[in-house]
Amino acid sequence: MKELLETVVKDCGYTWRQGQVATYIPELAKARADATGIAVCDLSSGLSGAGDTDFAFTMQSVSKVVSLALALSECGEEKVFSAVGMDPLADPFNSIMRLEMDAPHRPHNPLINSGAIVVLSLLPWKESSQRIAAVSAMAARMTGRKAVAVNEAVYLSEKGTSDRNRALAWFLKSVGNLEGDIEDILDAYFRQCSLEVTCEDLAVLGATLAADGTNPVTGERVVSPEVARVVRTIMATCGMYDGSGEFAVSVGIPAKSGVGGGIAAAVPGRMGIGTCGPALDRKGNSVAGLAMLKRLSEELKLRIY
């Protein structure tokens, strides 16, 4: 496996040149654009990786998988999916347009920004510090790490440039679809996006979902098989922003990307895959990550469709 991953990095790494690092959160603009790494956590043979497996980046939207898994476990499917939908959206992840146009003004799914903010508000903890502690504990259990910490510089940078996310949240409040202390919920959202990981962490996170909720490295049952199934399904339909349909055809694996350049993928019953590559395409997906996942999916026949 390691040899195959090295070939994948060698053959696909150069594609980063076709993308650009996110700049709308100033701290993300400082990322090394050419960092490229991939890791696989195979459910039978364990972890292997190639390229920049030590490169640390913030989870950004990949964290939405973690908070969704937590909310489904704590509140149940019915409560979560009465507050957010489960349908893909052909608009950018931070778009406000549909939220306003489509009654009942409910986020279309839990993996866009408005949906993730609502998901956080459902968690049974009142304070931002308790919410983020619970999300980061869930991230640690899914990745098999002792702790997953917030990158303070990215958090402050995101918080300082958060007009759009604030607009989404306050709009939701104005139509009665977001309850609680809005600034406090937003604070937890900025912190969860700033949780810092490596592609190896994302491989283990993906493997936990691939193994129906049991972390294959620690052996811990983290979420129920039903929660893992629902999360994988939402990843498959909505995980790659407005590029989810194209990704389903070309790669064919449930996956979630983030503007920090990470992608976590879960191949049911087989493996988790994590990639990093901060240079993004216009939809917000890592260019090198997409190329590596496509190649690996072809080589190992991973498509689930």
Question: What is the binding site for ligand GLU (CB under 6 A)?
Answer: 60-61, 93-94, 113, 158, 165, 193, 258-259, 284
CB of 197 to ligand GLU, least distance (A): 13
Residue closer to ligand GLU (CB basis): 1 or 171: 171
- Judge whether 191 and 67 are in contact, CB under 8 Å: no
Residue 241 annotated as catalytic: yes
Q: Give least dist CB 93 to ligand GLU, A.
A: 4
- Of 8 and 28, nearer to ligand GLU (C-beta) is 28
8 Å CB contact between 68 and 80:
yes
Residue 224 burial (CB count, 10 A) = 15
Least spacing, CB of residue 107 vs ligand GLU, in Å: 13
User: Looking at 259, 267, 286, 287, which residue is catalytic?
Assistant: 259
Does residue 210 contact residue 268 with C-beta atoms inside 8 Å? yes
- Residue 305 designated active-site: no
Catalytic position from the list 241, 257, 286, 287 = 241
Q: Measure the CA–CA gap between 14 and 11, rounded to whole angstroms.
A: 7
Q: Is 45 annotated in the active site?
A: no
In three-state form (DSSP H/G/I as H, E/B as E, the rest C), the secondary structure along 131-173 is HHHHHHHHHHHHHCCCCCCECHHHHHHHHHCCHHHHHHHHHHH
Which residue intervals of the chain are DSSP H helices? 2-12, 63-75, 77-83, 97-101, 113-122, 128-143, 152-160, 163-174, 182-193, 199-210, 225-238, 244-250, 287-300
Measured CA to CA, the distance from residue 257 to residue 278 in angstroms comes to 11
Active-site option among 80, 121, 150, 189: 189
Contact 278, 31 (CB under 8 A): yes
Which CB atom, from 7 or from 94, has the smaller least distance to ligand GLU?
A: 94
Closest approach of Cβ 112 to ligand GLU, in Å?
8
Q: Are strands 196-197 and 57-58 parallel, antiparallel or unpaired?
A: antiparallel
Catalytic residue of the set 61, 95, 244, 286: 61
Query: 33 or 271: whose CB is closer to ligand GLU?
Result: 33
Q: How far apart are CA 153 and CA 19, in angstroms?
A: 23
**Among candidates 261, 212, 305, which has minimal Cα distance to 61?**
261
User: H/E element holding 265?
Assistant: strand 262-267
**Which candidate in 8, 63, 64, 287 is catalytic?**
64
Q: Which is nearer to ligand GLU, 136 or 214 (CB)?
A: 136
| Least distance in angstroms from the C-beta of 218 to ligand GLU | 26
Smallest gap from Cβ 60 to ligand GLU, in A, equals 3
Q: Is 189 a catalytic residue?
A: yes
Per-residue burial over 42-65, b if 16 or more Cβ lie within 10 Å, else e, is bbeeebbbbbbbebebbbbbbbbb
Shortest Å, Cβ 144 to ligand GLU:
22
For ligand GLU, the closer CB: 19 or 213: 19
- Whether 61 is a known active-site residue: answer yes
Catalytic site positions: 61, 64, 189, 241, 259
